[in-house]
Structure formats: C-alpha cells, structure tokens
Structure 1
C-alpha cells in the first residue's frame, strides 16, 4: 500500500482543513516546496497535492506553488486535485510534470470528460470521490448530491481511470481515524485501485487500511504535520 503525504494548498501555503471547511484552515508551512522536499527526503514515493482555492474557483489558483513543488521534487511523482474541470487544464498540468490529475466535480457533472481524458492519458487520470454519509459532495465539498459513492465509482469501471481517491469528509483533518469499513466496501465493489483519504491519525490506521488487502493507498496530512505519524517509520512499516 502506497502512502501519499498530502500538501493542501490555500493562498500559496501548505494548510490542513477540518472537515473541508476553508475557514478552519491551519497553516503548517508557508513554503510548500520545502515541505515537499522534506517528505521526499523522508522516503515518500508519491506526493498528493490539492489546490483548495481552485476547488472552489473551478480553475487553478495555486499554480505557482504546485510548479515550485514539481521543480523541487522532479523525480517524485505527484498527483493533483482541485479546480481541474476541462481538458485544456488537464493537458496543461500533465505537460508541467504532474504524474496524475484527480477529477472530482466533473466526475459527477461531466463524466464524459473523465472518460475522454482517461483515453487520452492512460494511467494518468484519477477520480476523486468525496462523500458525506455515503453521498458525493462537489465544488470544494460545498454542494451535496444524491449520488452514492459506490454508484459513482461503478460508472467509471470501464473507463480506464488509474485510481479512485475516496475521502470521507467527516473524517478529514479530524484525526479520528479513517472510515476503514466504507473504504474497504468501495474497494471491493470495483476493480479500480482505491486510495483512502481522511482521518488517518496514527500508524495503526494505516495498518488497518493495509490489512483489508484491497486498499491500494492512503493519504495522510495532519497526522504528519502534527507529528502523530512519523513518515519514515510509516513507510518502513508498510514496506
């Protein structure tokens, strides 16, 4: 199972939100590129980036910070979500060196774009599924839909997407542990690799996700910044 250290970007800084609330942002580093280097130096094999402002604006906002991270860590693949809602933006980011882009809102609103992108860029398109009580939320988690997370995942079963990033919004940034049961259920419902996001607070949480045998990856942010989770130790434990 791959561990993805998270760098959430707001106003050019590395922050963490509590349950997706922009007003509940804690700044952890005003130099996101330096934070990325620190994660890579600790052994991270991937980076998970989120343009939080972009998720609300519907377009890239923290592009300069993302580009600085890519320049600082050219040999470490990175995936980015937030505000990526058209093919031109997808192409631009992949051309700039991102290994993978994560499409969330458009997966609900324009699923054909996801399918087209997955055909055009094999292995480089992921779908972000962000849910409250099992129902998908879009546009920076500000709008709730009636779409069930598993239903949305199954829509892309034959699309060729590289991964699903599943976030339980109520767990995100809350340090209360991930929703292992819901994430495992989703992973068993589809053949697409599932990456767990939200709530990882300790090494035991990562072990629990890994031991399901079906979860391909896990994202951690606040636990790493708060020191509750040691990245090098976690990477060694996961193998």
Structure 2
C-alpha cells in the first residue's frame, strides 16, 4: 500500500480543512518545501498536493508547487480545480506525476475518459461523498450521482486510481469512512486510494487489509505529529508470510 504524505496549500501556506470549509482553515506554521523534503527523507515514494486556491480558480500557488515538484525527486500527485484539458496537460508537462480530477469528471465525463487514454496511469478520479452523493466544486455542490454508479461509469478508462473521501464521516470516528471505502473498493477494478481515514498508525494497519485499497493520503495527522511517517511507511509494506520448509 502506498502512503501519500499530503500538503494542502492555501495562499502559499500549509493548511488543513475541517469538512472542506475553506473559510476556516487550520494553519500550520511550517515551510511547504522543507516539509515536502522531510517526506522524502522519511522514505516516501510518492506525495500528494492539493492546491486549495485552485479550487476557486486562483493560481497563486503555482510557483510554489513547481518548486516542490523540482525539489522532492519523487512523483507528485496533484489535485485542485482542474477544469480543462489545457490545465491538466500544463501540469503534466511541468512534471506532475498524476493529476486528480473530480468536478470535471461529473461535468464532462467523456473528456476525462479521453484524457485518461491519452495519459494512461496519470489521471486519478476523485470521488468525494456526502450523504450518499458525489460532491463537486470543491465539496460545495451536491450532485445526483451515486458514488458506486459514478465510479462504475469510468470502469473502462485507464485511470491510475480512484481517491475516495467520505466528507460526512465524524472527524473522531474513522469506522464509517472505512466502511464506505471498503464497499466502493469492492465494486471497481481500479485501485482505490483512501482519504481522510488515517488519524493514527492503527488506521494504516486496518487499511492495509482492505481488498483493493492501494494507498492512503495522510495530511493533518502528519503535521499534527499524530502519525510518524516512517512508522506508517513501515506498516504499509507487505509482510512476508512464513514459508514451510520441506525436506
């Protein structure tokens, strides 16, 4: 299972959002570039960045994100407000390893499928779920899509994965999120990446045994030091089963 240490960037700062409320960010007093480098030093093989300004059409974090991509030396999975083919291709050209798309998939599914074919294994579908429905526009608009049906509609596209976020889950209770992610992961051939379920290393251990969950994003828990990245990476590694000796 891949651990994606995660940075959410707003106005050049590292933040965390509670239930997606961009007007009430939790600000972390850390340097984004140095924090990203610390992920690499801990052994991360991927990282994830969400451009919170991009969700509202702003581009104030572009130089910072480019700097991080150049600095870390590992693939960066980038999300946040991608609405056009040009935006996607611009960031792939700038070195982003993967692009995460949510709202565009709901508004123009054919375009997403086309881009996935043109950029195989570089497009990730974001499925943000609230009260049983897929949310769009940065968690602000409730669509009519059922999450399982929405994912199923992209089953033939060569996606790199599907990020599933349960917005409705109680912040102190990961069990409901795990149940949703387990259910959706069992209904698709695409590897599923869990978001918002890890609050401690025990949550990493639980996710590792969910069928078809190939990774998890960890952001707030790393910045608050509730999770040690080295420990999480070690737990996420496949364990070698004992082999019987034959004589």
Q: 2:240 maps to what in 1? A: none
Unmatched 5+ stretches in structure 1: none
User: Residues of 2 paired with 1:215 and 1:29: CA distance?
Assistant: 32
Q: TM-score of the superposition, structure 2-length normalised?
A: 0.91
- The structure with the largest alpha-carbon Rg is 2
- Within 5 Å, which residues of 2 pair with 1:130-169? 130-169=128-167
CA RMSD of aligned residues (A): 1.4
User: Residues of 1 paired with 2:54 and 2:76: CA distance?
Assistant: 17
- Within 5 Å, which residues of 2 pair with 1:42-191? 42-57=42-57, 60-73=59-72, 75-171=73-169, 174-177=171-174, 179-191=177-189
User: Residues of 1 paired with 2:35 and 2:230: CA distance?
Assistant: 14
- The superposition leaves residues 154-197 of structure 1 with CA deviations (integer Å, 9 ceiling, x where unpaired) of 0100011110011111349x353261111011111010110000
User: Residues of 2 paired with 1:12 and 1:183: CA distance?
Assistant: 31
When residues 234 and 44 of structure 1 are mapped into structure 2, their CA distance, relative to the original with a 3 A threshold, is same
Structure in which a larger fraction of residues adopt strand: 1
Q: TM-score of the superposition, structure 1-length normalised?
A: 0.94
Question: Any idea what SS the aligned residue of 2:142 has?
Answer: strand
Q: 1:4 maps to what in 2? A: 4
Asked if structure 2 preserves the Cα contact closer than 8 Å seen for 1:175 and 1:222, the reply is no
Unmatched 5+ stretches in structure 2: 238-247
Asked if structure 1 preserves the Cα contact closer than 8 Å seen for 2:126 and 2:163, the reply is yes
Question: Any idea what SS the aligned residue of 1:67 has?
Answer: helix
Farther-moved stretch of structure 1 (205-214 vs 186-195): 205-214
User: Residues of 1 paired with 2:53 and 2:156: CA distance?
Assistant: 31
User: Residues of 2 paired with 1:112 and 1:142: CA distance?
Assistant: 23
When residues 77 and 66 of structure 1 are mapped into structure 2, their CA distance, relative to the original with a 3 A threshold, is same
When residues 170 and 61 of structure 1 are mapped into structure 2, their CA distance, relative to the original with a 3 A threshold, is farther
Question: Is residue 2:13 matched to residue 1:13?
Answer: yes
Structure 1 runs (4+) deviating above 3 angstroms are: none
When residues 32 and 171 of structure 1 are mapped into structure 2, their CA distance, relative to the original with a 3 A threshold, is farther
When residues 231 and 165 of structure 1 are mapped into structure 2, their CA distance, relative to the original with a 3 A threshold, is same
User: Residues of 1 paired with 2:113 and 2:211: CA distance?
Assistant: 28
Question: Any idea what SS the aligned residue of 1:23 has?
Answer: coil
Question: Any idea what SS the aligned residue of 1:129 has?
Answer: strand
User: Residues of 2 paired with 1:152 and 1:56: CA distance?
Assistant: 24
